[in-house]
Chains A and B, each alone.
Chain A
Amino acid sequence: QKEVEQDPGPLSVPEGAIVSLNCTYSNSAFQYFMWYRQYSRKGPELLMYTYSSGNKEDGRFTAQVDKSSKYISLFIRDSQPSDSATYLCAMSGYSSASKIIFGSGTRLSIRP
């Protein structure tokens, strides 16, 4: 079993829709939770970063962490065609010095 599980998609939604992306994990030592976005032929770039449980909002993006369920989510409101990319969840352990483990990524397409 992988430490981090993520539905690979692809996910296709119309412009303006609310998108929900999710990951589950098995390692209870994870404390830092991140979402990266990766465009084709580019390296990933950080979108959201949260520590422990709770919600964090940044513009159209909201990240949620539920450590009791070992489940994290990313919501995108008012989705735009420019949001079309692969979204990777990532997490690391008890210290910010730990290695960062990535999910397999969900490919998202926003239809104009």
Chain B
Amino acid sequence: DTGVSQDPRHKITKRGQNVTFRCDPISEHNRLYWYRQTLGQGPEFLTYFQNEAQLEKSRLLSNRFSAERPKGSFSTLEIQRTEQGDSAMYLCASSFPAGDPNTGELFFGEGSRLTVL
């Protein structure tokens, strides 16, 4: 399978616990994005990377959220001290390099669903 893969697909945790999600992008893509999606809403931008550099982080993102892409390949998204409001689908997407005419096409994984009890 050469698509974007995310792990785990579903995580149930208690409020206050830390959780980490992993995303493996398509290998030739150097851009990687994290979005959050709640029921009935579109994906909300969280952050994105070009190679290992984090280029932008949403102002809406609390400092409990941190994302890394240490070697420019896979990425992790960690949420510390989870709250019930963090319950959502966390989507990862990757794309071709900037300047490529197809940069607008994001290839999404199937998401990691977080439920905070």
Contact = CB atoms under 8 A, between A and B. Distances in A.
Interface of A: 4, 6, 8, 32, 34, 36, 41-46, 49, 88, 90, 92, 95-97, 99-105
Contacts, number: 63
Nearest to A33: B104
Contact of B42 (A6, A41, A45, A97): A6
Tell me the interface secondary structure of chain B in the complex: loop
B48 A44 contact: no
Given A32-B104, A100-B45, 16 more contacts: A4-B42, A43-B4, A43-B109, A44-B43, A44-B91, A44-B106, A46-B104, A96-B98, A96-B99, A96-B103, A97-B98, A97-B103, A99-B45, A102-B43, A104-B41, A105-B40
Contact of A100 (B4, B40, B104, B109): B104
B108 interface: yes
B21 interface: no
A87 B56 CA distance: 26
